[in-house]
Amino acid sequence: MDLILHHYAMSPFGRKIRSMLGYAGLDWQSAITREMPPRPVLAQLAGGYRKIPVAQIGADIFCDSRTIAAEIATLANKPQLALENLDAGARAWAGRADLDLFFPCVLAAGTPAMRRKARESMSLLDMGRFVLDRIGMSRKAAVKIAGFREARPLVLDHLAQVEAQLQEDFLFGAAPTHADFSTYHGLWFIRDLGESPLVDGFPGTLAWMDRIAAFGEGGRSEIAPQQALDIAAGAEPRSIAPAAQEDPLVGEQVTIAPSDYGQVATRGTLAGGTQHSWILARGASGLGTVHVHFPKEGYSLRPVGRDSA
Ligand SMILES: N[C@@H](CCC(=O)N[C@@H](CS)C(=O)NCC(=O)O)C(=O)O
């Protein structure tokens, strides 16, 4: 069964996963969603989680690029695509790129070319809604998000580090790892979507970006979001290994939410947990049961009874 990616063209984290799929050489199905909520199909599948991308394999739903990457690593037999298989240094690098550098990259990419592209993909009304949505999301964030003035120096400092780190073809050796894709998407947003010259002074980084771009996106075919719902309705969630059912909270009603930004919770019954992820079972109307997978790192789980305390 092919992986379905719920995403939109200008999403940096969507690009992170599309590039991984290209490197992995996988066939996949693309379900385009809006740049901001409401996203009714994803609301049904993921039950509240508001970030993009989300992946789906049958009735299993994967929230966050980290759980998606772990699936791609297994499907393609490329263990280095899963963050948990990297050493502590590479994991910390990827974490900084995905969280600390993501907003500076987005802000530094605010060029006329970017505004034109955003305007081409959204109506004027949606542009207004989009800006308000993202301002609201930043204000409610639990992590400090860099402002406009800090963004450019932070990105330049980051670029100098990327340039120095590139001793071989990829950041941590001759083959790419999760950390390359975490680093690529923010810089893609600046160089390719923003058409900004910011990266131009870093020739090693430019060549590395070209190497990642050359992976392409894999075998992509478009489906209507409704088809994704039909696929979920016609599938059963994968069975969960007994070892993953040992968490004392298994069977309890819980909520799981990102703890950094976009902290919208998904509620369900905890169905399993591994060292790195949680699995929630939810009854989705018209779809039967779906299993929603979250990473543990960067997410908080709360038993529902204690939620209101
Ligand atoms: N930790 C998440 C971050 C994802 C993220 O921030 N995605 C951005 C789009 S690139 C987002 O969801 N923005 C708000 C939205 O699209 O509603 C991941 O790795 O997937």
The tens digit of pLDDT for each residue in 33-54 reads 999 999 999 999 999 999 999 9
Mutation probe of ligand 1 site: the residue of 51, 72, 256, 294 with most atoms within 8 A of C-beta: 51
Q: How far is the CA of 248 from the centre of ligand 1 (A)?
A: 30
What is the dihedral sign for C-alpha 195, 199, 200, 205?
negative
Over residues 247-303, the pLDDT tens digits come to 999 999 999 999 999 999 999 999 999 999 999 999 988 999 999 999 999 999 999
Percent pLDDT > 90 in the chain is 96
Tell me the Ramachandran region of residue 291: left when phi exceeds 0, alpha when psi lies from -120 to 50, beta otherwise. beta
CATH topology of domain 87-213: Glutathione S-transferase Yfyf (Class Pi); Chain A, domain 2 (1.20.1050)
CATH 3.40.30.110 applies to domain 3-78+220-307? yes
The answer to whether the peptide bond before residue 295 is cis (omega within 30 degrees of 0) is no
Instruction: Choose between 309 and 232: higher pLDDT.
Output: 232
pLDDT at 307 over 60: no
Q: Is the CB of 52 under 6 A from ligand 1?
A: yes
- Tell which atom from ligand 1 comes closest to the C-alpha of 36: 17
Distance 12 CA to ligand 1 centre (A): 8
Q: Is the pLDDT of residue 132 over 60?
A: yes
Return the closest-CA partner of residue 237 out of 65, 56, 74.
56
The mean pLDDT value for 59-80 works out to 98
Query: Rounded to an integer, what distance in angstroms lies between the CA atom of residue 172 and that of residue 169?
Result: 8
Domain with CATH 3.40.30.110 in the chain: 3-78+220-307
Expressed in angstroms and rounded, the spacing between residue 63 Cα and the centre of ligand 1 is 10
The span from the CA of 293 to the CA of 64, in Å, is 9
95 lines ligand 1 (CB under 6 A): no
- Is residue 31 within 8 Å of residue 4, measured between CB atoms? yes
Mean pLDDT on 129-149: 94
- Per-residue pLDDT band for 28 (boundaries 50, 70, 90) equals very high
- Specify the ligand 1 atom closest to the Cα of 11: 10
* CA–CA gap between residue 19 and residue 189 (Å, rounded): 13
Per-chain mean pLDDT for the chain:
96
Report the nearest atom of ligand 1 relative to the CA of 12. 10
Predicted pLDDT of residue 309: 44
Residue 189 Cβ < 6 Å to ligand 1 = no
C-alpha 273/C-alpha 89 separation (Å) is: 25
Ligand 1 neighbour 50 (Cβ under 6 A):
yes
> Residue 11: CB within 6 Å of ligand 1?
yes
Q: Residue 194 C-alpha to ligand 1 middle, in angstroms? A: 18
Give yes or no for residue 188 CB within 6 A of ligand 1: no
C-alpha 243 to ligand 1 mean position (Å): 30
pLDDT number for residue 306: 61
36 lines ligand 1 (CB under 6 A): yes
The segment(s) of the chain belonging to CATH 1.20.1050.10 are 87-213
Please report the atom of ligand 1 found closest to the CA of residue 15.
Answer: 10
Please name which of 111, 127, 102, 108 lies closest in space to residue 52, comparing C-alpha atoms. Answer: 102
Q: For residue 13, report the distance from its CA to the centre of ligand 1, in Å.
A: 6
Check whether 171 has a pLDDT greater than 50. Answer: yes
